């Protein structure tokens, strides 16, 4: 089965940790395909810590630093 979400309301539901459990949700071959355990299959504190790192890497200041000078 697959689920597709679209729009801000659906995204809000996906981000609500009281409604969604990501850990152990994909089959093992999908986890392997995407390089092992990653942000999309994490919950709780590990998810928040990894997400914070990712958001910092894609913030305005970081993106400006990636551009050639």
What residue spans of the chain are helical by DSSP H? 8-15, 28-33, 44-57, 60-66
The pTM score is: 0.62
Q: Give the model's pLDDT for residue 8.
A: 94
43 Cβ neighbours under 8 A, 6+ residues apart: 17, 21, 22, 23
In whole angstroms, what is the distance from residue 24 CA to residue 40 CA? 10
- Mean pLDDT for 23-28 is 84
42 Cβ neighbours under 8 A, 6+ residues apart: 22, 23, 50
- Mean pLDDT for 20-40 is 85
Q: Give the model's pLDDT for residue 63.
A: 93
User: What is the phi-psi region of residue 16: left when phi exceeds 0, alpha when psi lies from -120 to 50, beta otherwise?
Assistant: beta
Q: Give the model's pLDDT for residue 1.
A: 66
- Mean pLDDT across the chain: 88
């Amino acid at each position: 089965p697959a689920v597709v979400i679209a729009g801000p309301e659906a995204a809000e539901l996906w981000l609500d940790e009281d409604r969604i459990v990501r850990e152990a949700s994909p089959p093992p071959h999908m986890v392997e395909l995407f390089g092992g355990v990653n942000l999309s299959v994490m919950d709780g504190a590990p998810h928040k810590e990894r997400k914070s790192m990712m958001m910092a890497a894609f913030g305005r200041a970081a993106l400006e630093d990636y551009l050639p000078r």
